[in-house]
Each structure stands twice: as structure tokens, then as C-alpha cells.
Amino acid sequence: MQNVLMTRMKELVVTLNQAARVYYQGQGEIMSNYEYDKMYDELVELEKKTGVVLSASPTVHVGYETLSELEKEPHVAPMLSLGKTKEVSDLVSWIGDREGLLSLKLDGLSVILTYDGGMLTKALTRGNGEVGEVITNNAKTFVNIPGKIAFDGTLVIRGEALIRYSDFEELNTKTAEINEKYKNPRNLCSGSVRQLNNEITAQRRVHFFVYNIVQISETPSFSKKEEQMNWLAELGFDVVPYKVVDKESLAGAVGQFSEEVKTCDLPSDGLVLTYNDIEYSASLGRTAKFPKDSLAFKWRDELAKTKLLEIEWSASRTGLINPVAVFEPVELEGTTVTRASVHNVSIVRELKLGVGDILTVYKANMIIPQIYENETKSNNCVIPDTCPVCQGATRLVQENGSSVLVCVNPGCSAKKIKSFSHFVSRDALNIDGLSDATLEKFVNEGLLHSIPDIFNLVHHREELTQLEGFGEKSYQNLVQAIERSKKVPIAKLLYSLGIKGVGLSTAKMISSQYPKKLSGYHELTMDDLISIDGIGEVLASSFVDYFADEEHQRMISDLEKFLEIEYPDVSSEQMLKGQTFVITGSLVHFENRNECKEKIESLGGKVSSSVSSKTTYLVNNDITSTSSKNKKAKELSIPIITEEQLLEMISS
């Protein structure tokens, strides 16, 4: 019997560690939170029965070593995870006759910040709990953390870096790469915080909410955790939402939070209860994994049974064909739900899905529809051997330990439409009037076969004006938009090609280092690209493979016939090198801040979203303004210049 239990324990440890490793590295997920918790609880019970705890068990270690090139550094104190429960009665019993703080358990990435002499000097991820990754430059781009605080000692705080739901949805609509790679705000946050290029982090709008003081050199006179939180808020930090509770008010507070989280913009996977008395908390110590002064409460998800009607297979620009479960409508957390992403073929197989199966579904963190259990397990789902869009052949490949389905037809219309959409998007060629629906019409009419065909649309006036919903005015607007797009910086053009892993900031780095003709980029080698700070082997390989493709070379040659491509002026590029600007307020000479930003970057400068000690100039036409940016610039003795002064600087 013991051998059977040990075998099961080993299986659980391997499965749970694999799931956690993928999750903590922001690479996706191979099982739902519900499934993970169920298996974790099973492992805990088996460890109690056998009296054996395996060295690799997730019940005794915290987090996982990350796979990045970021520098690592030990924490000043272990960054522990929390014990958990799903029962309100456990919370009431745990708090006893003492006062507590009940706060949202935010679902992002744990980050530890260090301030010395009032300045942010270090930021670490939690890592494995003992050693974290140094992400100081990235943390300085977080939307809401102060670069300087009114405290001259050393302060080490722990909080949660996260991306709000509203920002996640907006980023998803703007960037196809994010839509295809990241399934939820937590994964996007993890990927954003650990970037080697902090410009990408800045674009992702990461927020930070503090929930604990780890270390402080000069202890202010407070005895309660609530006083700490108020003090941190006074220093300029956003603190995690919380309520002061006792055993009488605890259940009601849990109920209030459970209602509020349904419309909350902050991702949350539960609550945290901690003692309000700081001295008492400190006296409790910790176990090997958990602190004894705090307990996590996981949301008890609302479950509903439904029938699986079909598995819908959705093709993307990169060729991935993603399974989506479509089921009979059910009410969950106040909304009607009919679909849930299944993520990949491995999960389809693990759940043994089949049409007609009875499923139990829920909303993870009360937001994202997920399948909890398949009661029927008919396992009759057929993995399509043809693409649902082009009917071309499909193939199963392995990514991050999971089986995914891809369309191998390079001419797939789904790939085409998504590629066209990316090419005309705002950060690329910025051609207005070409929505996905419009592009699909043009493809179906045989007007678009490859990207250069977009510039020949102007010669199809008769066909276009006869299309439903696309008249003479739409045609004229499209002609003007296409004409405007022909003058394009090389960085935007590189980005528009949709090379896997090459975002706009990466395209700027490459074109700045190698200001070549577009057709000349096929000459770049892996070594050339890896020599650029922030570009690794995977991205370099993707870039080289793209330009080595003969079809891509023909397309690029055709594009160069239509476009007036702007290349960085190497002689003037150094003018603003090493200088960092912050732009605020309304502009007169530039159309918008983005245009001003592009001009500064074209001359080698950098543009940040917040004023810090590294800022060279704050650009603000209202120098006398009492805005927070002006105040901070004056505190740090950073020059505030007008738009005209900036123009004089770059024209001299």
C-alpha cells in the first residue's frame, strides 16, 4: 500500500512542479487553478498518511528558478508563500479574539522594492523565495510607484506587480503578439516585469500595490499593521485594498470583498488575513514554508453544470489553432457564459473532452471561464487534421511541454488576414479604414493575396465601391490613408512584417544598430543580432529565418517599390544619446506626445513616463505648473524645458 501511495505522490510532485514552473515564468498554463489546488490538497493528505515529504515537493519549497539572463540576488529575508483555506470558518477560528487586516490577494507577480535615502535603489522578483531576479530598471517604469519618498532610511517593502484588467484588454486589442501569447493579466505581467528591455515593461502599464514592510532601518512609532499601511500610503505608495476585521465582522467583510471583486479592475485570486498587532505577528515566527501570522483565503468558485456542444478551433496569425469549448449557456458570477478556452491539445486530452459531455465550469478568480471537470469523459474529440479556415494540413508540435496544433499552410487566409491587420495597425503602417472585417472582404473578393497588394487597392475603385458597406467616400478615405502610409520609418516597417518576437521597441533597436535597406536585413547573422543588448538567440533565429525565406524576400522587394522608407540619420543619431526625457502637458508644434517621442528617439534619446533621478529634461510648455511631474523635477533639480526649447536644442 505504501508503495502505491509513494508512486502517486511522485506523480503529483512532477505534475504540480511542471504546472507551477510554466505559471511562474509567465509561459501560459497547463491546468486550471482549481485542478492545481485539488492535486495539491491530495498531495498534502498523502504526505500525512505516509509521513514522507519528497525533497522536490511543492509543499516544502517556494517558487522556481527562472529562465532568464537577469542578474540574481539573495533577499534580505525569505519571501514565503502563505497557507491557504477556502472556508470562512477557518478564518474565524484562526483570528480568534484578535483584530486582523483582511486584504485582497492580488494575482500578479511578487516584487520586493528597496529604498535608500528616499530613492528606489533595488527591485527583486520573489524568484525561489531565497534568491530573486534584479529588475530595478523595469520597476522604475511601473506606473504608480514613487521614485523618491520622504524617508531617509532604508525601507524594504513587498507588494504585487500587476496589470489591470482594463489595460490587459486594451493591450490585447492593440498587439496581436500579446493576444496570442498571454492568456491572462498575470502571465502578461510576469513576462513584462522580467523583460531585458525596460521600454517594453513601460508599454505594458504595470502597477504595484504594497502589502508588507520587510525591513526598515528607523522604525516609526506604530504598533499596528493598519498604521504601517497608512504610513506607506502617505509616502506615495498604492496599498492593497483592505478592511480591519475581528471574528464578528470577518464573514461580512469576506462577503463584501467577494461582491466587489466581480467589478474590480485588479486581478485577485482570493484574500489574505493577517494579525493587526505587529509585535504579536513578529512573535509567531514561521514554518519551513509559511509565515504563521498570515493565512490566504481562496475564492470558492461558483460551479455550474452544462453540456459541451462543440470544440471550436480558432486559427491565429502565427499559425496556432486554439481549441475553445462551446457549451450550453450557464449563469456564473452574474453573467451568461457559453465558451471557455481550453488552451492547447494537451488539455483537451487530459480532460478527455467529447461532444455531449457533461462539464462543470467556473470563472477563475470570478473572471475567466474555465472547465473544472468533465463528468462524462467520452474522449471523442477529434483533433482536426485540416485547418478550419484554409482546409490545409495541420501538425501537432510541442511548446513548453504541451501539444499545440498548428496550420502548416503558409497561404492560410486566417494567417493572411491577421498579417494584413498587423501590417496596417497604428504602430505599423497606420492605414485607417482597414478593419479585420474589411480585410476579410477584400481577401474573399480576390483583391488581396499578399501584403504589397494593399498598395494596389487604389486601382480597384469599381470593385471596392460596389462592396456592401464600402462606398465612394470609404474608397477616397482609403486612398488617402494608403498614400500617407507610404512614408514610413524603417523601424515601423520592420515591426509591421510580423516577425515572431519582434515588437516595435525591438525593431527600433535593430534598425538603430543596423540602419539598412529593408532588403538588406537578410545579410544580418545571428551573431550580429545577439550583439544588440536585449536580443537573445530565439529572437535572433526568428529574425534570420524570416529574411532567409524566399517568399518573404520577394514580398520585401515588392514593398520597396511602393514605399518611401525613412532611415536613421547616423550622423545626427548621437545628438540626444544618453539623455532621458519626460513629456507632459499639451503640445503645440508636435501633433501629439507620440510624435514628440518618436523625434527624440530618432536622435538617440530615450523617453520615460515618469520623472526620476535619471531624467535629463522634463518637457512641459507650462513651466510654472504645480503638477506632480513639475514638483518632482524641481525636487530633483531637473531642468523643465518648453517644446520650443526642445526644438531649438535639436536644430542647433
Report, as residue numbers or ranges, the catalytic residues: 105
Nearest 5°: phi and psi at 228?
-60, -45
C-alpha cell at position 110:
511578487
Whole-angstrom Cα Rg for the chain: 27
- Residue 195 in contact with residue 125, Cβ under 8 Å? no
The residues, ordered by sequence, that sit 6+ positions from 266 with a Cβ below 8 Å of its Cβ are: 104, 106, 162, 164, 165, 209, 241
> What is 42-60 written as a DSSP string?
HHHHHHHHH----TT-TTT
Matching residue, cell 483570528: 95
Look at the alpha carbons of 144, 105, 159, 233 in this order and tell me if their dihedral is positive or negative: positive
C-alpha cell at position 143:
506606473
C-alpha cell at position 581:
526625457
Helix 185-193 × helix 165-174 angle, to 10°: 80
Of 366, 143, 140, 167, give the one whose Cα is nearest residue 259.
366
Nearest 5°: phi and psi at 289?
-120, -35
Nearest 5°: phi and psi at 80?
-85, 155
Look at the alpha carbons of 48, 54, 60, 63 in this order and tell me if their dihedral is positive or negative: negative
Q: How many CB atoms lie within 10 A of CB 435?
A: 11
- Residue 276 in contact with residue 226, Cβ under 8 Å? yes
Helices (H) and strands (E) in the chain, counts: 25, 24
